[in-house]
Amino acid sequence: MNFHTHLFPCFIAFAFAVSFSEAAITLGSSLRASDPNQAWNSSNGDFSLSFTPLGSSSFKAGIVFTGGVPTIWSAGGGATVDASSALHFQSDGNLRLVSGSGAVVWESHTTGLGVSSAVLEDTGNLVLLNSSSQPVWSSFDHPTDTIVPSQNFTLGMVLRSGQYSFKLLDVGNITLTWNGDEGDVIYWNHGLNTSIGGTLNSPSLRLHSIGMLAVFDTRIPAGSFVAYSNDYAENAETTFRFLKLTSDGNLEIHSVVRGSGSETTGWEAVSDRCQIFGFCGELSICSYNDRSPICNCPSANFEPFDSNDWKKGCKRKLDLGNCSNGINMLPLENTKLLQYPWNFTGIQQYSMQISGCQSNCRQSAACDSSTAPSDGSGFCYYIPSGFIRGYQSPALPSTSFLKVCGDVDLNQLESSDVSRPGDKVKVWVLAVVVLVTLFAMIAFEAGLWWWCCRHTSNFGGMSSQYTLLEYASGAPVQFSYKELHRVTNGFKDKLGAGGFGAVYKGVLTNRTVVAVKQLEGIEQGEKQFRMEVATISSTHHLNLVRLVGFCSEGRRRLLVYELMKNGSLDGLIFKGEEGQSGKFLSWEDQTNHKRFSLWAYEEFEKGNLIEIVDKRLVDQEIDMDQVSRVVQVSFWCIQEQPSQRPTMGKVVQMIDGVIDIERPPAPKVTSMVSTSGTTSTYISSNLSNFSTTPTTETPASFSSSHAALDMTPGGSKIEKTSSSLLQSRYD
C-alpha cells in the first residue's frame, strides 16, 4: 500500500516532466524552411511554430492552429523568406529569423536578458523564459495581425497588415487606420458603449472564446461590448475563434472548427468594404458585383498598374501634363471621389449646378476632379491632384467628374481573358441554354406571383417588399395598408395615443412584435413624408427604438416601430400606486421638472449655457456652438402645439448646422389651482404636459421668484402630446 502511495506522485511528476520537455524549446534549437516536418509544438498539440509554404519557393515562419489554419502570429509580420531560411533560438537567448543569404529578417532583441528556454503555451503564446521561469518576451505582447482568446491587447500594441493598422486608444476607442507616406487616415472608429468619458486607466481589448469582443478597464470592470460573432457561444469546445486584421483592411472575427481546416467569418467591422480607404488603390473605382466588391479603372482612358494587384490602382493612358489632344471631363454617375492626403483645406467648395461643376473644374489647373452631390444642396467640390479613389453605388446621390486627356471613352476595360476559337461554339450553346432556363424561371415566378396575388387572403403572406425584411440592412420596409390592417388584427390592440395619432400592437408573420402608429392631422406631401422616413431610419442609437417600416397610401400615413418590451416611458415617469401607470407625478415632482425648463431658458437668455451642461463634463473640452444648437432645438421640441415643433428631419439638420435655428420662444407658462385654492405656475411642454390632479398644498420647493409670472385662474388639463411626427418614441 505504501509502495503504491509513494509511486503515484512519482509517476505524476515524471509525466509532467516528460510533458514539459516535449513543449520546452532549448537554446540552440533551430527550425528550417527546407524541412516541413520540423515544428515546435504546444503540449496540447493545438498550436505549432513552423515554416508555412506560401508557394513553390517562398515561406513564412509563424504559429499556426492545428491543421495549418490560421496563422495567429508570424515572425517579422509575415515576412516572406526562401527555402534556405531558418529560425534560430540562439545560445545568447535571442530568437532570430535569417534568410538563405544570412541576412537578419527579424529578431526578438532578447540578447543578454537572461533567456534560458522557451515554451509554446497551450493558448498559442510563444514565451521566452529566464532561469526562474519568468517571461522575458512573448508573442502575445508583440502581436502581428491576429488576437486570440486569453490574449490581452493593450495600449501601445498594434496589429498591422500591409498599409493598414489597428489600435486601442487611451479613451477606450478602437480604430482602423490606413497608413500613407504623407499621413494616416482613420476610416473606422468604435467608441465605448458606456457613459464613462475621459482617459481610462489601463484599457485592454479581449476576445472571449465564445465569440464576444469587449474592452475592459478598472473603470469598467464589466466591460464595454464591441461585437458578437454570428456563431456566438455555439460549439465552444470544438470551435477556435480569433480576431484578425485582414489584408484588405477589415477587422473580422473568424471561426475554425477543429479538424475542418476552413475558416468562417462571424463579424466584420466594416460591412461595406468599399468604405475601407485605399481598398482599390489610386484612381480606381470600388463597386459591387452581386455581393462582392470589385475594383475597376474609371474607363478605357485608364489602365491598371497591375491587374493582379488592384491595391496599386490605375493610371491615365495619356498624362495630363503632356496632353496635346485637349483635356475633357469623364462623367461618373452615382460616384463620389475621395482624396489623400486627408487634406480638406485643399478641397474647395462652391455653389453651382452640375454642369458648372464639370466645366469650371476642366478650366481650372488646380482641379483634378470634382464631385456634385445630387442632394439639393447645390454644392460642388473641387478636388486637387493626389491620391484619388472612387466609390460607386446606385444609392449614392452624386455625380463626379475626372480629368482625362483626349476624347472620353466611357467603355470599361475588356477582360484580359481570351477565348480560343474552338470555344466559340461551346459558348454559344451555353448562352442559349442559360437564356432558355432563365425564361422558364421568370415564367414560373410570374405565375406564382399571380397566384399569390389572387389568393392573398388564404395565402397569408406579405408583399414581395416585406419578404426581404429579414435580409434588409436597416432600410425601412414599405407596407401596404391592407398588410398593416392584418398585422394589427384590424387595429384592435391599442397601446396608447399621442398628439399625432394612436398606436396599436401588431405581430409580423416572422413573429416580430411591432408598434403601428396611425398618423392623424398630417399635411405633408408624399415626397416630404418619405424624406422624413429616410431621415429617421438612418438614425441609430442605443436609446432609440428602430423604425421598421412605413405605409403611405393616399392620405393614410402609418409608421411601424419595434415594440418596447419594457413598456412605454410614461409607465415610468407617470408614477402611481404599486408601480402602475396612468397616475401622475406628485406636485413636487411636477414642479421640479417644470422649473428646470424655465430655469434653462433663463440661463440661455443670459448666455450662461455652461450652467446647463452636466457638471461632470465641465473639465472636458466642450463645443459650445454645438451645445447652443442642441439647447435651442430642445426648446423648439417642447412647444405645446405639435405644429410648432420641428420634424425629425429638421431637428437633424439644425443640430448638424445645415440650416439656421430661429430663436426659440420661451416655454409657455400656465397655472394650476389646488383644491385649497392655491395657484401654482408651471411650464407646459412635451416633456411636462401632464394632466393635473388636485393637491392639498403648494409644494414648498416651488421658487417664489416665479411669482411675478402671469397666471390664469382655474385649473387646466392638457393632453399629452408627442414631440415629433417621426420621433422614435411612439407612445
User: Are the beta carbons of 227 and 238 closer than 8 angstroms?
Assistant: no
Quick: pLDDT tens for 580-631.
Answer: 444 455 555 555 555 777 888 888 888 888 787 777 666 667 778 888 888 8
- 335: Cα within 13 Å, side-chain hemisphere: 24
Smallest CA-to-CA distance from 154 within 144, 164, 167, 137 is with 167
Architecture of the domain delimited by 466-567: 2-Layer Sandwich (3.30)
**Is 275-405 in CATH node 2.30.110.10?**
no
Lookup: cell for 318: 495619356
User: Are the beta carbons of 389 and 313 closer than 8 angstroms?
Assistant: yes
Residue 360: the pLDDT is: 87
Per-residue confidence at 195, pLDDT binned at 50, 70, 90? confident
pLDDT at 727 over 80: no
Report which secondary-structure segment, H or E, holds 363: helix 354-363
Lowest mean pLDDT among 348-357, 358-367, 424-433: 424-433
Cis preceding linkage at 70, omega within 30 = yes
* Parts of the chain belonging to CATH 3.30.200.20: 466-567
> CA separation (Å) from 119 to 124, 166, 464, 651?
10, 27, 59, 60
Q: In what order do the strands lie in the sheet with 513-518?
A: 477-478, 547-553, 556-562, 513-518, 501-507, 494-498
Distance CA(349)–CA(294), nearest Å, equals 30
User: In the predicted model, what is the mean pLDDT of residues 89-105?
Assistant: 96
**Across 306-458, where does the E strand assignment appear?**
314-316, 327-333, 335-340, 348-351, 369-373, 379-383, 387-392, 398-405
Lookup: cell for 382: 473641387
Report which secondary-structure segment, H or E, holds 572: helix 570-573
519 CB-near residues (< 8 Å, 6+ apart): 500, 501, 557, 558, 559, 725
Residue 588 CA, chain-centre distance (Å), reads 43
Point out which residues pair with 154 in neighbouring strands.
204
Lowest mean pLDDT among 19-28, 378-387, 585-594: 585-594
Residue 694: the pLDDT is: 35
Per-residue confidence at 676, pLDDT binned at 50, 70, 90? very low
The 3-state DSSP class for residue 682 equals: strand
Q: Of the segments 63-77, 149-163, 706-720, which one has the largest average pLDDT value?
A: 149-163
Smallest CA-to-CA distance from 693 within 599, 589, 598 is with 589
DSSP for residue 597: H
Per-residue confidence at 448, pLDDT binned at 50, 70, 90? confident
Percent of the chain with pLDDT over 70: 71
Lookup: cell for 349: 467648395
Given CA atoms 29, 32, 35, 39 in this order, what sign does their dihedral have? positive
Quick: pLDDT tens for 290-326.
Answer: 668 889 999 999 999 988 888 889 999 998 888 888 8
* Parts of the chain belonging to CATH 2.90.10.10: 23-138, 146-271
Pick the CATH number of 23-138 from 1.10.220.10, 3.40.640.10, 3.50.50.60, 2.90.10.10: 2.90.10.10
Distance CA(280)–CA(278), nearest Å, equals 5
513 phi/psi in degrees, rounded to 5: -85, 130
User: Are the beta carbons of 278 and 340 closer than 8 angstroms?
Assistant: yes
pLDDT at 722 over 50: no
Residue 298 CA, chain-centre distance (Å), reads 28
Quick: pLDDT tens for 402-422.
Answer: 999 999 987 664 433 323 333
Smallest CA-to-CA distance from 83 within 36, 25, 148 is with 36
> CA separation (Å) from 612 to 575, 599, 628?
26, 9, 10
Q: What is the CA radius of gyration of the chain?
A: 33
Lookup: cell for 675: 383644491
Residue 260: the pLDDT is: 78
Report which secondary-structure segment, H or E, holds 453: helix 424-454
The 3-state DSSP class for residue 609 equals: helix
User: In the predicted model, what is the mean pLDDT of residues 215-232?
Assistant: 89
Lookup: cell for 76: 517579422
pLDDT at 45 over 80: yes
Percent of the chain with pLDDT over 90: 32
User: Are the beta carbons of 518 and 502 closer than 8 angstroms?
Assistant: yes
pLDDT at 28 over 50: yes
| 713 φψ region: left (φ > 0), alpha (ψ -120 to 50), beta (else) | beta
Orientation of helix 526-537 relative to helix 648-656, angle to 10° = 60
Distance CA(238)–CA(243), nearest Å, equals 17
Per-residue confidence at 57, pLDDT binned at 50, 70, 90? confident
Alpha helices, H only, 607-702? 624-637, 648-656
Per-residue confidence at 15, pLDDT binned at 50, 70, 90? very low
Quick: pLDDT tens for 473-525.
Answer: 456 788 888 889 999 999 988 888 766 778 999 988 777 888 998 887 665 66
Smallest CA-to-CA distance from 95 within 119, 66, 72 is with 119
pLDDT at 693 over 50: no
Smallest CA-to-CA distance from 51 within 67, 65, 38 is with 38
pLDDT at 673 over 60: no
* Residue 48 identity: S
Distance CA(190)–CA(174), nearest Å, equals 5
Rounded to the nearest integer, the mean pLDDT of the chain is 76
Residue 14: the pLDDT is: 40
Lookup: cell for 62: 509563424
pLDDT at 267 over 90: yes
User: Are the beta carbons of 37 and 55 closer than 8 angstroms?
Assistant: no
| Known binding positions for ATP | 517
Lowest mean pLDDT among 71-85, 520-534, 627-641, 701-715: 701-715
CA angle 236, 242, 243 (to 5 degrees): 140
Cis preceding linkage at 304, omega within 30 = no
Alpha helices, H only, 50-202? none
Distance CA(61)–CA(34), nearest Å, equals 12
| Known binding positions | 517
Cell numbers 509502495: residue:
3
Report which secondary-structure segment, H or E, holds 6: helix 2-23
Lookup: cell for 534: 429616410
* Residue 213 identity: L
Q: Which CATH superfamily is domain 146-271 in?
A: Bulb-type lectin domain (2.90.10.10)
